[in-house]
A and B are shown apart, each in its own frame.
Chain A
Amino acid sequence: MELVVTDLAVARGGVPVLEGVSFTVAGGEALVLRGPNGIGKTTLLRTVAGLQPPLAGRVGLDREAMAYAGHSDGIKATLSVRENLTFWADVFATDRVPAALAAFELEGLADRHAGNLSAGQKRRLGLARMVVTGRPVWVLDEPTVSLDVDAVAMFAGAVRAHLAGGGMALLATHIELGLEEARVLNLAPFRARAPEPDDFDGAFL
């Protein structure tokens, strides 16, 4: 199984931001997307995850293969850590809650209300959800925000375990993850050019 993205063009708010993006992620491989703020990393990841349609090009795998984690963790403050994960385990029909709790060292917090967690602990809970989904492709947008050094290592370990099982990961990040084996794709060359105004009226649109 591999994720093949061919000639993808994506738009945010109707404005094309990236075009001609092609890459392949084979099973057991991680790809890190880099680029300056506003280049369209989030838009690209949302398109790959199937949350918005591409302007052009195609994503080779069905959205059923993707597990997406965005900037927000989707945590319910009034549910406990375990309840949050159990809900997603039920939705994705898996039984990986203990594995997820172990991967991000959340066992000690399992019965705490998620609203009482620190920002880093919430982030760990949000990432633990990826383990719960059991899907082959992890699409992660800035996964290490508010994580400390130990937690980043924990996250790298979880990604490695996922890759070792034949999974794939697509990450957008600005910092070093400690995943030396991951390939890096710089998105700057794919920035969409503003369309040439074709006539007098076009210049005003």
Chain B
Amino acid sequence: MIALLIRDMKLGTRAGGGFGLGLAFFLIVVVLVPFGVGPETGRLALIAPGILWLGALLACLLSLDRIFALDWEDGSLDLLATSPLPMEAAVSVKALAHWLTTGLPLVLAAPVLGVLLSLPAAGYAPLILSLALGTPALSVIGTFGAALTVGLKRGGLLLSLLVLPLYVPTLIFGAEMARRGAEGMGNTTPMLMLAGITCGTIALLPFASAAVLRVNLR
């Protein structure tokens, strides 16, 4: 399992691996927002948590189709399926590698981009915490979507259509937690809901992804 994680991290960070693309996309979305809605600090501060969450979610979506598509194309997915590694473990490791190369950089970059959107000082800790809690769910759900669409030509768009509705609960509670934090209100309830969604997806979805992948490999 560790070997697969190391390989996926290596592939993700080497040439053509797409590491940093999600981060750059996140940066550009956040930079473009003040051009679109105007530079008034008050208005930006109001929408900052929502924009940051939406940007992170879309940036996460960008690299989802690579999770299995590349391994499918060069045949490694077949070879992995015949290896001693259980499919559930392989799927979980791939989701973890996706989070480490996409989700974690977004979490770390969010406070810097918060400055660009004049996020109130009280909002930084809840924003980072909500992204740290929520982005693993985005990777795990995305892995399920990638498993569903593996082997389809031009499956990327279908993948987005399948996955985005599943992202709704994470987005609602994540953005709510960040917004309440920025406005200085208590945010325990959305935080617990968000943590619950993440734990639930991590516990259940790898089994679904592995089952779907086995069917797709036939």
What residues of chain A have their CB less than 8 Å away from a CB belonging to chain B? Answer: 46, 49-53, 63-64, 66-79, 83, 87-88, 90-93, 129
Q: Is B43 an interface residue (CB 8 A)?
A: no
Residues from chain A with a CB closer than 8 A to the CB of B153 are none
Binds A, one of B7-15, B26-34, B99-107: B7-15
Is the beta-carbon distance between A71 and B75 smaller than 8 angstroms?
Answer: yes
- Interface contact A49-B82, CB-CB below 8 Å: yes
25 contacts between A and B (CB under 8 A): A51-B78, A51-B218, A52-B217, A53-B218, A63-B82, A64-B84, A67-B82, A68-B78, A70-B75, A72-B75, A74-B71, A74-B74, A74-B78, A75-B74, A75-B76, A77-B16, A78-B10, A78-B16, A79-B11, A83-B10, A87-B6, A87-B7, A88-B83, A91-B3, A91-B80
Q: Are A68 and B82 interface neighbours, CB within 8 A?
A: yes
The reply to whether B4 and A76 contact each other, CB–CB distance below 8 Å, is no
A50: chain B residues within 8 A (beta carbon): 82
- Does the CB pair B74–A73 fall under 8 Å? yes
Contact between B7 and A79, CB atoms less than 8 A apart? yes
Cα A118 to Cα B4 in complex, Å, equals 25
Q: How far is the CA of A74 from the CA of B83 in the complex (A)?
A: 13
**B78 to chain A: which residues have CB within 8 Å?**
46, 51, 68, 70, 72, 74
Q: Which of A63, A74, A91 contacts B4 (CB 8 A)?
A: A91
Chain B count of residues within 8 A CB distance of the other chain:
26
Q: Is the CB of B82 within 8 A of A78?
A: no
Which residues of A are found within 8 Å of B73, using beta-carbon distances?
A: 72
* In the complex, residue of chain B having the shortest beta-carbon distance to the beta carbon of A87: B7
A64 to B86 alpha-carbon distance, docked (Å): 11
Contacts from B to A (Cβ < 8 Å): 2-4, 6-7, 10-11, 14-17, 71, 73-76, 78-85, 217-218
Chain A residues, CB < 8 A from B17: 78
Assembly CA distance A171 to B43 (angstroms): 68
Q: Are B14 and A78 in touch, CB under 8 angstroms?
A: yes
- Enumerate chain B residues within 8 angstroms of A51, measured Cβ to Cβ: 78, 81-82, 217-218
**Smallest CB–CB gap between A125 and chain B, Å?**
12
A76 touches B84 (CB 8 A): no
Report if A52-B75 is in contact (Cβ < 8 Å); known contacts: A76-B7, A76-B11.
no
CA distance A83 to B9 in the complex (A): 13
> How far does the alpha carbon of A90 sit from the alpha carbon of B74 in the complex, in Å?
19
Residues of B within 8 A of A63 (CB): 82
Complex interface: chain A residues within 8 A of B84 (CB) = 64, 91-93
What is the bound-complex CA distance between A98 and B4, given in angstroms?
Answer: 20
Chain B neighbourhood of A73, CB < 8 A: 74-75
- Known A-B contacts A79-B10, A79-B11; the reply to A91 vs B85 at CB < 8 A is yes
B14: chain A residues within 8 A (beta carbon)? 78-79
- In the bound complex, residues from chain A placing their C-beta under 8 Å from that of B85 are 91
Given A91-B3, A92-B83, A78 and B15 touching (CB < 8 A)?
Answer: yes
A122 to B49, CA, bound (A): 49
Cα A46 to Cα B83 in complex, Å, equals 13
Cβ 8 A contact of A74, one of B16, B76, B218: B76
Contacts of B7 in A (CB 8 A): 76, 79, 83, 87
CB-nearest residue of chain B to A11: B218
Q: How far is the CB of B67 from chain A (nearest CB, A)?
A: 14
Chain A residue numbers with a CB within 8 Å of B16 are 77-78
Question: For A69, what are the chain B residues with a Cβ–Cβ distance below 8 Å?
Answer: 79
Complex CA gap A64/B84 in Å reads 7
